[in-house]
Amino acid sequence: MVLATAALLFSVCTGAVLWLFIKNRSSQIVKANNRNLSYILLVSLFLSFCCCFLFIGRPVPITCILRQTAFLFLYTVAISSLLGKTLTVVIVFHATKPGTRLRKFVGSRVSISLVLLCSLGKLAICSTWLIWATPFVALDTKTTQKTMTLWCNEGSIAAFYVAVAYTAALALLSFIVAFMARKLPDRYNEAQHITFSMLVFFSVWASFIPTYLSTKGKYMVAVEIFAILASTAGLLSCVFVPKCYIILLNPKQITTKTNILIL
């Protein structure tokens, strides 16, 4: 009940941030942080929070099929959006150098194409997983002797870890690119926020894997929901809270701090 309430609250918060960005879509701070990718990122985070509800309640075939693949795909879209945002900024700042060929890559098409490419890669992995070893509802008779519990068998634990590893690889790449972007002018600090959000992601999931392997039944589900909430909320807060603060509480910074990069 607590986890379901938390998932609902975070979903509402994400929707509110999306509404705030759409309402202020003409402001420089929204434009300066790649408006289209921000929308994609917020929608994917909103749906990632909603995926928590697939883990709650009596397991049925459709929830067993969707709960892992849907979240991992949506979170990959979110990570890809962060990668696209940071890579775009790196390209823009280096494209100002004389004689560079990077100017032809400036714009939203490259970043959107990157998100699409990374997402298609994850879609291929998840589709192969569902075709090769479809998750199914199973009966657990080993955890407790007196009761039998329905649970979702993932079909292939190897496929699950391959899907997680793909997302982790994109997160690592996003971290590296954001870390490289730390030398950009101080007035642009989204790279720092993205770096920290990736550190939160790795911290949460590095703790999740051993805990997930050592738990069974409803406790395993609770651990995974907590990991989803923590990693997704960490990304939401690290990337968007500073921007919401400027829009709502310190709008004067919009004209002095965000006129560097308009995409």
Whether 139 is covered by a domain: the verdict is yes
Whether 63 is covered by a domain: the verdict is yes
> What's the rounded Cα separation, in Å, for the pair 166 and 121?
9
Phi, psi at residue 59, to the nearest 5°?
A: -65, 135
pTM of the model: 0.87
Confidence of residue 253 (pLDDT cuts 50, 70, 90): low
Whether 262 is covered by a domain: the verdict is no
Over the chain, what is the mean pLDDT? 84
* CATH number of the domain enclosing 157: 1.20.1070.10
Phi, psi at residue 156, to the nearest 5°?
A: -150, 115
Tokens 């634990």 correspond to what residue?
A: 157
> What's the rounded Cα separation, in Å, for the pair 256 and 223?
43
Please say whether the beta carbons of 154 and 126 come within 8 A: no
Does the pLDDT of residue 143 top 70, yes or no? no
Whether 132 is covered by a domain: the verdict is yes
Could you give the number of structural domains in the chain?
1
Q: By mean pLDDT, which of 4-18, 52-66, 96-110, 244-258 is the weakest? A: 96-110
Q: HSE-up of 164 (CA within 13 Å, CB side)?
A: 18
- The single-letter code of the amino acid at 216 is K
Confidence of residue 245 (pLDDT cuts 50, 70, 90): confident
Q: What is the pLDDT of residues 28-79, one digit of tens each?
A: 888 777 888 999 999 999 999 999 999 988 889 999 999 999 999 999 999 9
Q: By mean pLDDT, which of 101-115, 154-168, 245-259 is the weakest? A: 245-259
Whether 81 is covered by a domain: the verdict is yes
Domain membership of residue 123 as a residue range? 2-256
* Burial (0-12, 13-18, 19+ Cβ within 10 Å), 242: middle
Whole-Å CA distances, 103 to 88, 89, 260: 11, 12, 16
Whether 263 is covered by a domain: the verdict is no
Tokens 């329905």 correspond to what residue?
A: 150
Query: What is the token pair recorded at 87?
Result: 């890579």
> What's the rounded Cα separation, in Å, for the pair 81 and 75?
10
Does the pLDDT of residue 257 top 50, yes or no? no
